[in-house]
Structure formats: structure tokens, C-alpha cells
Amino acid sequence: MKITRFSAALVTILSVTAASCKTDLTGINVNPNSPTTAPAGSLFSQASVNAIGRYLGAGQLSGTALMAQHLAQVQYLDEDRGHIRATTIDNMYTNSYISEQEDFEKIIAQGKASSSPNIWGPAVVMQSWGYQNLTDIFGDIPYSEALKGDIPDGPLKPKYDAQKDIYYGLLASLTTASTAMKTATDAGFGSADIVFKGNSARWVKFANSLRARMAMRISKADPAKAAAELTAAFAGGLMTSNADNAILAYPGDGVFDNGWSGNFATRDDHRVSKTLLDTMSALSDPRVKVYAQPTRWDPVTNAVWANPADARAIGLQNGMDNGTVAPFFNTTSRVGAIFYPGATVYGTFGTSAGKKTPAVLMTYAEVEFLAAEAAERGLGGQSGAAAHYAAGVTASITQRGGTADEAAAYLARAGVAYVPGATGLKQIGLQKWISMFTQGGEAWAEWRRTGNPASIKMGPKAYSDVLEVPRRWPYASNEQTVNAVARAEAVARQGPDTYATRMWWDK
Amino acid sequence: MPNRLTRAMSAVAVALAIVAGQSSPAMAQRSTVITGRVMSEAGAPIEGASVTIPTTRFGTQSKADGSFTLIVDASVTGTQQVMARRIGFRMQQKSVTIVGGAASVDFALAAQASQLTGVTVTALGILAEKTTIGTSQQTLTGDELVRTQTPSVLSSLSGKVSGVTINQTGNIGGSSRIVIRGAGSILGENQPLFIVDGMPVSNAGFSTASAGGGRDYGTAAADINPDDIASLTVLKGPNAAALYGSRASNGAVVITTKTGRGGVEGTRFSFTSRMTTEMPSVLPDYQNKYGQGFVGEFQYVDGAGSGVNDGADESWGPKLDGRLIDQFHGKAQPWIAHPDNVKNYFQNGSTVSNNISVSTAAKGMGARLSLTKDNTKGLVPNSSLNKLSGSLAASAAVNSKLTVNGSLQYAQTNGMNRPENGYTEGNPLMSFTWFGRQVDIQSLKNKYYNTASPYGFADGSLYNWNDNYHRNPYWQQYENPAPDSRDRVTAQLSADYAFTPWLSGIVRGGSDSYRFTREERFAAGNIDRASASYNGGFTSFNERAKETNFEGILTARRTYGKFDFTVNAGGNLRKNDRFNDAFSTSGILVPGIYNLANAGITPSFSNSEAHSAVNSAYGSAIATFNRYLTVEVTGRNDWSSTLPKENASYFYPSVNGSLVVSDLFPSITRNGVLSYLKLRGGLAKVGSDAGPYQLATLYNGSSSKFGGLPLYTLANTSANAALKPEQTTSSEGGVEVSLFDERLTIDATYFLKLTRDQILPLTIAPATGFSATTINAGQISNRGIEAMITARPVRLANGFQWTTAVNYSRIRNKVDVLAPGLTTVTITGQWGTNLEAREGQPYGTLFGYGFKRDSASGEILLSDGMYQRASVKSVLGNVNPDWVGGWSNEFRFKNYALSFLLDVRQGGENFSIGNWWGTYAGVLSNTLKGREVDWNKPGLVAKGIDAATGKANTVVVTAEDFNHSQYPIAEAAIYSTAFVKLREMRLSYDVPVRYTAKLNLREMNVALVGRNLFTWTSFPNFDPENSSSALNGGQGFDMGALPTMRSFGLNFTITP
């Protein structure tokens, strides 16, 4: 009896086991941690933080700000001697598409599906800002076929578009976005818009200002298109005061800190460039005290300043090597203490406010400099170059905490006071370059376009293959593996994949 | 044709006649008929023993009752030696006088343990006679595992099992890695399945260590207490393990714990105590001629560049001639060598392990309780590991049909301050790769903080030899606590029921669960971990995992004439659940309070869970003919939750066979040379599923809020909704030979294992918006031979005996193909050198920059007398050994036993970052070349071609410049990891009964044990086994990892 019962139990257990084998288990495979859709606002916040951190944070410190000679390296000197590290290139090129451009693409799709221009519009503007940064670093890049890796049969080896086509595409996208946002009524992102807090009027201004920047950038390569776009952009309405500046204010909570400040909290690899400080000091620029700290040591005695009041800002020559740079460690200026969280030793700006220092995407000052150049060159229906120039300089000084009086005094100085004509164009370039401290990428691009300031020269210990200041960065090495054919086409079109090759708008 | 057939048939007939061992009746006129029985010493009849007269061709085999009839031709006369042999028994010879007619002789054979015979565990815990197994496996007894004190049961396998590669680290409780027959899966861990008492248990790796940082928290197999193991069987590869399903593609390690049942009736206590002391087995050879600095100059001011080269963390400074130089411990200190400043940082480790067990056995039942406490003090100051494990096992035959078994294992492991690994400030050993050779380490031990230094640092900053790059190594270990803890419970219950004498069923259920928690706390000043403006920070990580299995198997065994059949059919339900959570902050307010409530910086959190399930149905059929020919077929179907519905069900079969040739043709054993010959072979296919949640592209949130705003981002890998299972096919053939009355046995196997359709992230153009997409592609092949040779060369009448065993494995691994457009998959990378699965190369290829060479001659090209880096990366080596082997020896004489084990690894390369930086930094003795006279004298002329002149280099450079020039060139530090280690040594003494009896003890054994006593290697300065962790990504690089420990100790076992 007992045996039978046990056998029955065993057989039952076995048959239940067998029967449950074929049960569909796929329900278990639904990921409980991550959704298949996400709110557009949260995507926008994250993608914007990523993009801004890339071009204005790490990417500058190990690349563009050195090429713009805003900064110089005092140790780990590869970049300053002309070689960008593979990881830096990857962080720029590879991560740009993966970390933010794809997300902006998804937001645009969501916004278009719900007919919300205040969702897709800002995403288009941010994506365009990112693309312009990227193409200005590399030249031809994937654009029209990009960001389709999860679409069935989407191109896994997207072609590289000619830079001209990319610029045309970006200008068109910005036009569409600014036009749509101008009349849009949807709620948009609200506070999730970490640049303009959901203010679509300011997005429209930013979009048009970016159009003007792009149009001016191509004015040498494609004057007709540049002229038409400048006219349209100015007509559309640009930034009109520092309140319109496209900036990202960081919470400074130790997690999301200003990119420079985050680096300077643990690293001490940078000094302010001699090229920049010599220029500014010669003009008694009121922004010196913001940009640079006084040096620790007196370079003459090679010891702590005997009289602390004598301490002053001194720049470091770019492009030195280990042997030649060593004596300058304590005798050249660290970046202004505003970027040093909590530092009290090196200057008067040392508060945790440094971590909150905003990243600057584009300023009203730049818009005025664009207007000044347009006026001087008779483009875009602009006039009054001197007034625009003065407005630009004033806006930059006040943006950096200076006063209108300081600006006026500065503008009165010889060398600063505007001289129309070819000199004026140089002055515009110089002041724009000074104003763009912390926007190394844009400053480097403008130097390439205008040659201003002419004092930017490759340093004395440059690597032998980079004896001139780079005109672009080489492509990410992995492209030779994952997208070789497309990359080869781009190289054939654009020129050798070297630092020296000039891109379309720089020819 | 007919002729040939006839001839073949007559040959078969002759063969059969020989098999039958009977001469033809025509020749039997005046023959002798010898009858008798072959029995074991215990009195059991022995079937199948061969009974022969070796000098003649006459022989027969014993029947089931042990009886035999040997008919000898009349031509054989006089006194003859009749020999009875059976595998598993000692051969016996007896003299018989043959005079025609009848004669009689009986044999009583003594049992003899043999590698080739006996009952062993096969897949699913099924017991089988070794002679009938068609696949390769190897069993070790519990005693063999605890000969010396080892950090993990896996470490104790090193050098003992063929076909197996063991990697281990020197950390206390560090990880051990076992790979059977080579790595097959590109991104999998390639670890075998672990089975304890029929239930799968985890060997999850907890290590966060790589050559770039992290800590090695070991692997879960370390929770298995070696003292509780009765036997451990390695099922080598898919052929042996096919029935275990998805996870068997890497083989299986099947462990049976002691239950107490079946021993001598009554209650027995046993107490084992092991005490060992540990020290580093290998330490670098440092130079002691030049101290800290550059270009022969140094003066300390703040250790950060303010003095003369005082930011230098290298030893290219002034000659250590006693001159007075300002140093971190005072002005104008004598500049002298401290040759032992690194050695003195280490302390002697110690391990005290005590095990007490009580087992009770009665008729049909048994129970065993065991408790073990291990206390380990690490080599690095203030590091320790304490482990408590308990095991309770019971087995009872309820009646003649029903047997129930249950076992419960608990292990608690608490680690404290396991040192960080790799190239990170948290690794105290990292500073020794740089370092000032004049540094007085004692003064760093005496204080950690500057209080009133002569240089005005009253700010509590670190008291250290360098403030730019390194930490005080004592401060690191004493002021940055890192506790970890793991609780593990494994439980299983089974009931075995015999329906009829030939049909039985077993149901088994069990779970393996653990909870692992680790925390890392950073003091203020730990600036790459905690924010500079705060008083430190911390991270905390918790993991819970559980696997449950429920299984039922029906087994039928029947015999029909000479055929034995065994058929198994069963099913298994498996579920895996895993939960992780972690939180961290890089800034706390009040020092020393490592609590989130004390966070000054918004903490970041993460939590996740993962679930998967596999249902399986399986069966096997085994047919044995006449005990010498066995064929087994198996089949298993898995249904996995992790694959898309259409691919979720997958079937894999296996077939294997074995033939005991010496039983088929007993005549071949007649001359006494060959006593056993078995051939075996098999084919198997095993599928392996994906990890959970790989089928859909998802959005990932972030616990960090941007000023309160939530964040989301799309995953970087584009998912593949059509994944298929990975496939491994394996074929093997083997031979088992026993010679000279089992004095020499050989067990050798050739195998070929192919792993296809690997689930891989295919790196795609990032402009697609994704870094990778998941695909099924690629094939890795492993082919090789493994052999185990055991010999008993000496056995003297006085009891002296020498047993020796050699095992050897040679595996050729190759990544045959990846995917179109994919030439390599990077497993991990350090300093621009990657560990890769590169098409056409072995798995685990080191790919990085070599020296710039002259394209024609291949000689190194120098520029200004210094090395140049090649313009493109190339293959620099691979981590796979050419072969591995072990040679064990045991000498027994009376109550003494002496054993030692040599563990050999030949070939395989490592990128030694320790040598790379140690040479760059001028701390290693090889950097003295060129500065024998002074820091810049006489200089050196490197061998190679001058790039400018095209002629042999003549440029003299300083040692400093020359050694710095090798920095970007990984090839400069690629070394062979070949070694021979005296892995184990043990001298033991069984206290004679006449003494133990007085103490009222049954047994008492004392042993001196040693482990990793000597290392012979060409690998410079570091331990060739040195790797940051034994996990997949820990291979191929050494950087600041602890050497394996050399240990000496005493084992003491008493059984009251």
C-alpha cells in the first residue's frame, strides 16, 4: 500500500516536471530594471549633459582648448605637443553618436509623433550643435545615414557625408526647428530643458544664432550660401543680451560639476597659455583675474613671492616637453580659481561655486562679434561694425563678472579701440578668441577660419609629424575596422587622415 | 570476394577460439584440466578474472561464481606458474604441477586501488564502473585535496588533474579559475559547472580586480569546505557532462560530500588542525645603488615638485653613498639604501584552520556534522580573512526500498582590507613599482599624517615619500577600511526509491543561495576616490543570488544474458534569481561616519535584478555487452527563458563507447606486460543559452538626478531579438592502459572541441548610434591531448613504497572565425595593450605596440640611441600555456609518508606592467646597467640599428633616458609565464597504535606541510602566476598583484 502511494507520488512529480518543461518561459525574460520607452524630458536632460560635457569639458582639456592656446599642459604633454590620445578621439567621435546624438534622434521621433515642436525643436538644435562641433573637429563625418543602428536593415556602416552637405543639412534643420518653435504651443520640456528651462523663445534665438555662426563659418568656402543664411538668421532674431546666453549651469553637487572644475579638483595638468595671457596682459584685460590665478612662485627668484602683492598671472608656453616644462610648474598660472572647488589657497574665487560654473555653448557676445564681422564685410544686411564690436566686448566682460565701466575703459585702450577695415576684422577675431575662453572648440575653429590671433603657433617641442597647429583631428582608429570603406571614401575626398589636412570650410 | 570473406571468417573464428581460451577438442587427448575459483580476499567471487599460464597460450576467464576451468594441452608439462588477474586486484601466481588429468588451484586476490577501475560518479550523479565509461574524467579523494593548506579547493587541483588549467592569485581568499580543455566561449567565464551532492552550486566570481584596480573577493567555489569533501570528479568537457545541459560545455566538477554513512558503525569524532605561516613566494630584485629623483638630483620639500625633483617617484636620483639630503622624514638625512624596504612592508601571513567533525553510522544510515574555522592573516598589513563553515549531512535507508538524503552547508566568509589590485592608488603595492629606493619604510609606518613637519604642513595632509602620485602604503591599509562578507547556504534533499529490483527513481530538490556585501571606505585625502573638499567617502555593494533546482530521474537496470542495460529518464526545473544594489558617495561630512545620512555629496544608487529559468528533459541509455563493450547515448532538451520563443528549445545528443580490449582478448594480457587495455571514444553536442534580457534595446535610468531632474539614456548595445543558443561540439578518443600488474597505468585522451554561434557583441560603427549589436557568430576550436601516467616503481618487502604520477595537457586553442567584418573581440585592455580573441590567433592574444624594427633585418631601430614604438599594433603573445603538467610523488615507509608535487607550466605570455614600470622607474636591478659608476656613467649603447645612419647604434645614452624610452612599447615587458613550482610538500607521520591507544585515540597523524616552496622561472621579478584576478578579464597582465603565497605549516589530525 505504502509502496503504491509513494510510486504514485513519484510518478506525479515526474510527470509534472516533464509537463512544465514545455511551459513558455519567455515571460521571465522581461527586464524589470529598464523600460522600452522613456520620457523625452529625461532623455533630453541626460543627452544635453553628455553633449555639453563632451565638447566643453574633457574634450577641451585634452584637445581643443590646447589647440586654441587658451590652455597649455604642464604635465602629460602629448596633446599639447600635437598628439591627441586615442581615448580622447574615441570619447569625441564614438561617444558623441552613442551617448547623445542617438538619444536626440529618439526625442525628435517622439516629438514629431506627438506633433510637439517644443520637444523635437530643442532636440534638433542640440543635435545640430553637437554635429557642428564634431564636423569642425574631424571634417567629413557620418550624418545622413547615421543613427539608424536599431532600425531593421538600417545602415550598419553609414557613409561619411561631405562637410558641405552636413553644413547644408544642419542649416536646414535649424531653420525648420526655429520656424516650428516660433509658433509652437505645446508644453515642451519645462524644467527638464536644462539649458533654457523650457523657454522656447530663447531656443529660437539660439537656433538662429547657431545658424549665423555656421553661416559665417562657411563664408570663405561658400560665400553665396553664407550670405543668404546670415541674412535669414539675422532676420529670424538672435540673442540680444547675456540673458539669452546658451549655458548649462551645473548643480555642483559633486556628481554634476563643471567639467573643468571636476578635473582641477584632482588633477594639476594645466596652466593658462602664454599665448592668451601675453595678449590679454598687453591689453590690461580686466578678465585676466578671472581667467588665471597669480603664480605660486616668482619666476625670477624661483621661490614663493617675497611680496605676495607682486604675484601676477603668467602664461605657460604651449608645446613643451618634460624636460623643458618642469621649471614652470610653480611659476605659471593655474586656471582662474573660479574653477577650483573649495580652493582657498590660490585665489579669491575659491568657493564651491567653482563646481557650479556654467558651461557656455554660445554667448550674446559672440552674436555681436558675428554681427560686427558681417557688417565689416557687408554681409547679412548688417551695419555698424564698431558698435557691434563694442557691444561684444562689453557683453563678454560683464558676462565674466566685470563692470560696464571696466569694459568702457578697456575699449578706450589702444589696440582694443576699434579700427575699421582689415584691422577691425583682426580685432574682432582677437576679442572673440579672448571671449571664448572655456569654448576651446569654437575658438580653435575660428582661428582656423580667420587666422586670428596670428600669435597661435605650434610649440617648440611639437611632435615631428605635427609641426603646425592641427587643422583637424584624425578619425577614431576603430573606424578602420568597423567602417573601413566609408572612411576610405571620406579620406579620398577630404585628404589624408592627418592633423594637417584642411577641411572644406578651411580650404 | 568469397575467398577473402572466408579467410576473414576463419580469422574471426580463430580469434573467438582464443577468446574462449579453449583449445580444439582434437588436441585434448592427454590434456590437463585445471579447475578452481578466483575469490577476493574478503571471500567474494570475482567474475571475469583472467587465469593463464603466461608462458603458454592457454588461458580462461572466471565465471560469475568465480570458478574457472583451464584446459592445458598435453605438450605442457611440469611445474607451471598459473596467474589470476583482474583489474582492481593484485595479480596472484601459484605453482601447479601438470601431469595430465585434473588439477586444482584457488586464488584469493587482494583488492588494489587503481586509477582505471572502481566505481565513480558520472553526470547526474549516476554511479558507474569506470571500465564502462566512454568519456574522460578524473577523481580525487578528499584526502588528496587537503594535503596542504590551500585557499580554495580549486587551488588544490593545480598540477593534479590533466586537461585542466588552474589560475590562482596570491590574495587572501583570492580567486581561482579552472578551465577544462581550453576556453571556448569568447565572453563567457569558461568555468565548468559545479555540482555538490547532485545539485548545481555557484562558482560566481566576486572579483572586481583587473590590472586597472579593484579587489579580488574570490570565487564562490571557495565556500566549499575541502574537509567535507569525500570525492571530487572532474568531468572533462561536454562529452562527459552532456547530460548536465546548457552549462556543461565547459565540463563539470562533481563533488560528493561526506555523509558518514557506510563507514564503520558507531560514532566517530575527528579533529584536524592546520597551522601555516605564509610569505611572498617571489619578490622583485631591486637595485640599491640610486635613490629617488631624476638626473642624479633630489631634494625633498613637499614631495610634489617644489624641491629638486621631489615630485619624482622614480629612482634615477643621486647615488646612495650616505651624503646628506633633505628627505620626507627630515632635513639632511643620510642618503642610504634600504634594501628591504619593500620586503619589510609585508608581514608574515598566517592561517589557522580547525575542523571538528562527528559522524555516526548505523546499519543503513549515517549522519555527519562538521565545523571548520579558518583564520587567515594576510601578507599585506591589516588584512585578514575569517571563514566559518558548517556542514550537516544525513542519509538513511527508511526501508529496503526508500532511501532519503539531506545535506546542508553553510559558509560565512568575512574579509577585511583585502588590498586593492592593479594600477591604482588604492593598491599599496603599486607604489613599489615606482618608489624611492632610499625610502625608510619604517618611518611611513610610524606615522600617516603630517602634524608639524619642518615644511609647514600642519594641515593633516599625508605623511609620505611623494605627494604627487602615491599614498603612504600603511595609511592606505589602516585608514581606508574595506570590509566584505558573504553568507552562503546550500541545501538539498533527495529521496531514492526502488520500485522493483531493476527500476528506481530519485527526486531531488535543492537551492544554493548567497548574500555578498562589500564596502570600501575612503579617508579624507583619498582624492581619486573621494572629493577633495570632503572628509572621505564610501561605496557599498550588495548581491543576493539564488539558484533552485528540482529534478526527478527514473532509472531502469536490466540484464539479459550477456547484456546489461541502464536507461535513465528525467527532468529538471531550474530557476536563477539575482539581486544587486549599490550605493556610494564621494563626500562625507563627519570623518569616519560611513553612513548615507552623513553624505555631503548626493549619493548615487543602483539596484537591479535578473531572473532566468531553464526547464529540461533528458535521458540516457547504456548498453554493456559482456562487461567489456559499452555504448551510451544521451539526449537532453532545454527550454530557456533567455532566448526568443522560436529558439528557446534546443536539443543536444551525445554518444560514447568503451571497449575493454583486454577483456575481449584476454590473451594479450598473457605475457604479464599488459594487464588492462581499454579504448573509448565519444561525440557530444551541447547548447548554451544567453544571459537574461538581451533581446530588447532598453532605456537606462540614472539614480543621479541633475539638480533634481531624472535622467534616461538609450542603451549602447542594439539588441538582437533573434538570438540562438551557442553550440559546442566535442569529440574525444582515449586509451587506458595498465602495465606490469598495474605498476604503470596510462590514461590518455585526444579531444577536439568546437564552440560555434557565440553570443557576441559585434562592434559596429558608432555612427549607427550604438557601439555594438548582439549576434551569434564565431568559432573557437580547442584540440589537445591529456594524459595521466601513474606508476608504482618501487614496492619493497619492508613496506617502502614509491608512487608517482605525471599528468600532462597540451591544448591548441584557436579563434577560427569571428563574424564578417569582425576580426577581433577585446576582452580587456591595459595601457594600450589588449587581451583579445583575434581571428586566426589563440583566444587570449596580447595585442599592442612592439618595438620599431628594421623591415628588412627585423632588428630594433633606435633613434638617438633610444627605442622607438612601432607605428601599428601587433600580436605580442598569448596567455595560453603550450602545455601544463604535474608530477606528484609519494614515498611511504612504515608510519611515514613523504609527498611532493611539481606543477609545471610551459609557454604562455604575460604583459608585465610591473616590470614595465619598475624598469621605467629605475627601481629594479636591471636598471643599473649604464650607471655602474654614477647616475650618468658610463651610460649605455643599446643594441640595434640607428634609424638615422642605418648602421649599428653607437649613441651613448643614460640609463634613465634609455629605460624611459621603452614606455610606449608593451613588447618590452612581454614575458613567458613558464614555470616549475614545488607546489606541495608534505611529510606526515601516523602515530603508532601503541601510543594512540594509551591516549585513547583511534588515529593520530602529524604532518609538516609546505606550499609554493620554490619557483623556477625565467619570468623576471614577479610571480609568473601573478594576475590581478583569476577571472576571464584578469588574464594576461600583471600589475601590483600579490605573488602566490609560500606557506609552511603543521597539520594535526586526531580521531578519538
SS (H, E, C) B153-204: CCHHHCCCCCCEEEEECCCCCCCEEEEECCCCCCCCCCCCEEEECCEEECCC
Subunit contact B765:A156, Cβ cutoff 8 A: yes
What's A505's DSSP letter?
G
Instruction: Kindly report the three-state secondary structure assignment for every residue of B759-822.
Output: EEEEECCHHHCCCEEEEEEEEEEEEEEEEEEEEEEEECCCCCEEEEEEEEEEEEEEEEECECCE
**B817-873 tens-digit pLDDT:** 998 878 888 888 888 899 999 999 999 999 999 999 988 888 999 999 999 999 899
Subunit contact B769:A265, Cβ cutoff 8 A: no
Q: Which of B259-268, B496-505, B896-905 has the lowest mean pLDDT?
A: B259-268
Is the bond preceding A453 in cis, omega lying within 30 degrees of 0?
yes
**The predicted structure's pLDDT at residue B291:** 96
What confidence tier does B17 reach under pLDDT thresholds 50, 70, 90?
Answer: very low
Of B506, B768, B836, B863, which to mutate for an interface test with A (greatest number of A Cβ within 10 Å)? Answer: B768
Of B533, B697, B712, the CB nearest to A341: B533
Nearest-by-CA chain A residue for B636: A21
More confident residue, B910 or B468: B910
**Contact in structure between A452 and A430 (CB atoms under 8 Å):** yes
Q: What is the nearest CA distance from A205 to chain B, expressed in angstroms?
A: 24
Percent of chain A with pLDDT over 70: 93
Of A11, A16, A21, A264, which to mutate for an interface test with B (greatest number of B Cβ within 10 Å)? Answer: A21
What confidence tier does B9 reach under pLDDT thresholds 50, 70, 90?
Answer: very low
Subunit contact A149:B637, Cβ cutoff 8 A: no
**B82-129 tens-digit pLDDT:** 888 776 677 788 888 888 788 889 998 877 656 666 667 777 777 777
**B946-955 tens-digit pLDDT:** 988 989 999 9
Other CB atoms within a 10 A radius of the CB of residue B977 amount to: 25
**The predicted structure's pLDDT at residue A328:** 92
Of A35, A45, A251, the CB nearest to B698: A35
Mean pLDDT for B977-1000 is: 89
Instruction: List, as ranges, residues 359-398 from A with C-beta within 8 Å of B.
Output: none
What confidence tier does B240 reach under pLDDT thresholds 50, 70, 90?
Answer: confident
Kindly tell me if the per-residue pLDDT of B8 is higher than 60.
no
Mean pLDDT for A407-421 is: 96
Cβ within 8 Å of residue B291, ≥6 positions away: B298, B315, B317, B318, B319, B320, B325, B335, B337, B436, B437, B438
Subunit contact A194:B709, Cβ cutoff 8 A: yes
What's A140's DSSP letter?
S
**The predicted structure's pLDDT at residue B10:** 45
Mean pLDDT for A103-108 is: 98
Instruction: List, as ranges, residues 473-512 from B with C-beta within 8 Å of A.
Output: 497, 499, 505, 507
Q: What is the nearest CA distance from B94 to chain A, expressed in angstroms?
A: 51
**The predicted structure's pLDDT at residue A101:** 98
Range B905-926 burial, b when 16+ CB lie within 10 A, else e: bebbbbbbbbbbbbbbbbbbeb
The pair phi, psi for residue B821, each rounded to 5°, is 85, 0
Please tell me the distance from the alpha carbon of residue B159 to that of residue B982, in angstroms, as a whole number: 10
**The predicted structure's pLDDT at residue A291:** 93
Of A26, A46, A352, the CB nearest to B702: A46
What confidence tier does A122 reach under pLDDT thresholds 50, 70, 90?
Answer: very high
Burial of B251 (0-12, 13-18, 19+ CB in 10 A): buried
Of A150, A154, A481, the CB nearest to B697: A150
Mean pLDDT for A211-215 is: 98
Q: What is the nearest CA distance from B585 to chain A, expressed in angstroms?
A: 9
Q: Which of B416-425, B614-623, B950-959 has the lowest mean pLDDT?
A: B416-425
**Which run of H or E residues covers position A394?**
helix A385-399
Nearest-by-CA chain A residue for B584: A255
Select from B135, B121, B115 the least CA-distant residue to B733.
B135
More confident residue, B939 or A264: B939
**The predicted structure's pLDDT at residue A16:** 63
What confidence tier does B325 reach under pLDDT thresholds 50, 70, 90?
Answer: very high
- Residue matched to cell numbers 579580488: B216
**Most distant CA pair in chain A, distance:** 114
Cell of B648: 528557446
Cell of A210: 547657431
H-assigned helices in B545-684: 661-664
Of B305, B552, B764, the CB nearest to A17: B552
Kindly tell me if the per-residue pLDDT of B453 is higher than 60.
no
Q: What are the DSSP calls for B519-566, one per residue?
A: EEEEETT-TTTS-TTSSEEEEEEEEEEEEEEEEEEEEEEEEETTEEEE
Computed on alpha carbons and rounded to an integer, the radius of gyration of chain A in Å comes to 26
Q: Which of B411-425, B506-520, B969-983 has the lowest mean pLDDT?
A: B411-425
**Which run of H or E residues covers position B101?**
strand B101-104
**Contact in structure between A311 and A303 (CB atoms under 8 Å):** no
Which sign does the torsion angle of CA A173, A177, A178, A179 carry? positive
Instruction: List, as ranges, residues 370-429 from B with C-beta within 8 Å of A.
Output: 401-402
Mean pLDDT for B992-998 is: 85
pTM for this predicted structure: 0.82
A20 Cβ under 8 Å from any chain B Cβ? yes
A42 Cβ under 8 Å from any chain B Cβ? yes
**The predicted structure's pLDDT at residue B460:** 57
**B327-337 tens-digit pLDDT:** 998 899 999 99
More confident residue, A256 or B1044: A256
Cell of A69: 592656446
**The predicted structure's pLDDT at residue B133:** 85
Instruction: List, as ranges, residues 180-209 from A with C-beta within 8 Å of B.
Output: 191-192, 194
Kindly tell me if the per-residue pLDDT of B900 is higher than 70.
yes
Please tell me the distance from the alpha carbon of residue A132 to that of residue A246, in angstroms, as a whole number: 15
Computed on alpha carbons and rounded to an integer, the radius of gyration of chain B in Å comes to 33
Percent of chain B with pLDDT over 70: 93
Subunit contact B698:A34, Cβ cutoff 8 A: yes
Percent of chain B with pLDDT over 90: 49
**Contact in structure between B345 and B263 (CB atoms under 8 Å):** no
Kindly tell me if the per-residue pLDDT of B767 is higher than 90.
yes
Average pLDDT, chain B: 87
Kindly tell me if the per-residue pLDDT of B11 is higher than 50.
no
What confidence tier does A507 reach under pLDDT thresholds 50, 70, 90?
Answer: confident
Other CB atoms within a 10 A radius of the CB of residue A37 amount to: 11
Cβ within 8 Å of residue B525, ≥6 positions away: B460, B461, B462, B471, B475, B536
Kindly tell me if the per-residue pLDDT of B63 is higher than 90.
no
Q: CA of B704: how far to CAs of A263, B605, B708, B709, in Å?
A: 19, 7, 8, 9
A24 Cβ under 8 Å from any chain B Cβ? yes
Which sign does the torsion angle of CA A161, A163, A165, A169 carry? positive
What's B343's DSSP letter?
G
Please tell me the distance from the alpha carbon of residue B286 to that of residue B339, in angstroms, as a whole number: 8
Sheet holding B945-946, edge to edge: B866-867, B861-863, B945-946
Mean pLDDT for A153-161 is: 93
Nearest-by-CA chain A residue for B505: A10
A3 Cβ under 8 Å from any chain B Cβ? yes
Q: Which long-range contacts (CB under 8 A, 24 or more apart) does A474-477 make?
A: A474/A84, A474/A89, A474/A498, A474/A499, A475/A89, A475/A93, A475/A138, A476/A86, A476/A89, A476/A90, A476/A92, A476/A93, A476/A94, A476/B766, A477/A86, A477/A89
Kindly tell me if the per-residue pLDDT of B454 is higher than 50.
no
Please tell me the distance from the alpha carbon of residue B885 to that of residue B247, in angstroms, as a whole number: 26
What confidence tier does A349 reach under pLDDT thresholds 50, 70, 90?
Answer: very low
- Report, in this order, helix, strand and coil percent for chain A, each rounded to 5: 55, 5, 40
Kindly tell me if the per-residue pLDDT of B1050 is higher than 80.
yes
In A45-127, which ranges are E strands? 71-73
Of B402, B527, B769, the CB nearest to A266: B527
**The predicted structure's pLDDT at residue B56:** 73
Subunit contact B713:A50, Cβ cutoff 8 A: yes
Please tell me the distance from the alpha carbon of residue A18 to that of residue A10, in angstroms, as a whole number: 12
Please tell me the distance from the alpha carbon of residue A190 to that of residue A41, in angstroms, as a whole number: 8
Please tell me the distance from the alpha carbon of residue A195 to that of residue A362, in angstroms, as a whole number: 11
**B663-698 tens-digit pLDDT:** 888 788 777 788 889 999 999 999 888 889 999 999
Q: What is the nearest CA distance from A130 to chain B, expressed in angstroms?
A: 13
Of B584, B639, B709, which to mutate for an interface test with A (greatest number of A Cβ within 10 Å)? Answer: B709
In sequence order, the β-bridge partners of residue B786 are B749, B809
Mean pLDDT for B882-902 is: 92
Give the rounded distance of the alpha carbon of B243 from its chain centre.
23
Cell of B13: 573464428
Other CB atoms within a 10 A radius of the CB of residue B553 amount to: 26
Cell of B813: 586553442
Q: What is the ipTM of this complex?
A: 0.93
Give the rounded distance of the alpha carbon of A43 from its chain centre.
19
Q: CA of B261: how far to CAs of B361, B397, B408, B789, in Å?
A: 5, 10, 16, 32
Mean pLDDT for B247-276 is: 82
More confident residue, B751 or B29: B751
**B560-600 tens-digit pLDDT:** 888 989 999 999 999 999 999 999 998 999 988 999 999 98
Kindly tell me if the per-residue pLDDT of B458 is higher than 60.
no
Kindly tell me if the per-residue pLDDT of A167 is higher than 90.
yes
What confidence tier does B21 reach under pLDDT thresholds 50, 70, 90?
Answer: very low
